[in-house]
Amino acid sequence: MADTTMETPDMESIPLSLDTESMEKETAVGPKTPEPPTETESQPECRTPKKETEETRAVRKADVTASMDVEEQEDIKPDIENIKQEEPMDEEEMEEEAKPVRKEKKPKKVIISVKVNSQENQQFIFKVTPQTPLEKIMDSYAQRTERPLKNLRFFYDGKRLRTIDTPEMLEMEDNDSIDVTEEVLGGAGSF
């Protein structure tokens, strides 16, 4: 180990010692890595707040009122009296509050089958929910038959269907049928 002194203009000479052996060991092995903190050191203790009762609220208000003027205290007195007059909760009420609120199960989605009958006696079956717009059925039918949607007309019970209609609006039931006709524009004219 070598001792040296260092002089600075502000201070007197300061002895410095160099430990060459320990420096060689650190560079050969590598610097020491700090150990990770244990669970108790790294995480602060979490406390859940206790449920505030009417008594603790009344005590807290009493502490606050002690530091107030007489006029302010008179305004608050009725509130403190109301707190004291409340009845303690029954065991049944406490149990009801302690029970977790259960989420209501959603009812199963109702799915109905809708048959689409074409002029060529082809039948397509679509399974949809009652809230599904009929536009989806119409588009799907047009894609399957490779016909433009603008040339197709859909009817249910003799009434022409709109794209915004739903089976629920039309009061359709399972396995009800929709008829499809193709409208052809133009044709041969006679002279």
CA–CA–CA angle 135, 140, 146 (5° rounding): 125
- Which tokens go with 99? 């029970």
State mean pLDDT over 97-106: 64
Q: What is residue 15's predicted lDDT score, i.e. its pLDDT?
A: 53
Please state the domain extents for the chain: 112-182
pLDDT digits (tens, 9 = 90+) for 131-189: 999 999 999 999 999 999 999 999 999 999 999 999 999 999 999 999 999 987 776 66
Q: Which DSSP string do the residues of 120-171 spell out, in sequence order? A: TS-EEEEEE-TTS-HHHHHHHHHHHHT--GGGEEEEETTEEPPTT--TTTTT
Contact 116, 167 (CB under 8 A): no
Share of the chain above pLDDT 70, in %: 42
Q: What is the pTM of this model?
A: 0.43
Residue 122 has pLDDT above 60, yes or no: yes
State mean pLDDT over 112-116: 95
Q: What is residue 75's predicted lDDT score, i.e. its pLDDT?
A: 58
State mean pLDDT over 30-37: 56
Return the CATH number of the domain spanning residue range 112-182.
3.10.20.90
User: N- to C-terminal Cα distance for the chain?
Assistant: 124
- Which tokens go with 18? 């160099």
Q: What is residue 34's predicted lDDT score, i.e. its pLDDT?
A: 57
Question: Residues with Cβ < 8 Å from 79, sequence gap 6 or more?
Answer: 61
pLDDT digits (tens, 9 = 90+) for 77-91: 555 555 555 555 666
More confident residue, 175 or 30: 175
- Which tokens go with 97? 């509050």
Q: How many CB atoms lie within 10 A of CB 178?
A: 22
Q: What is residue 113's predicted lDDT score, i.e. its pLDDT?
A: 95
pLDDT digits (tens, 9 = 90+) for 43-56: 555 555 555 566 76
Contact 131, 168 (CB under 8 A): yes
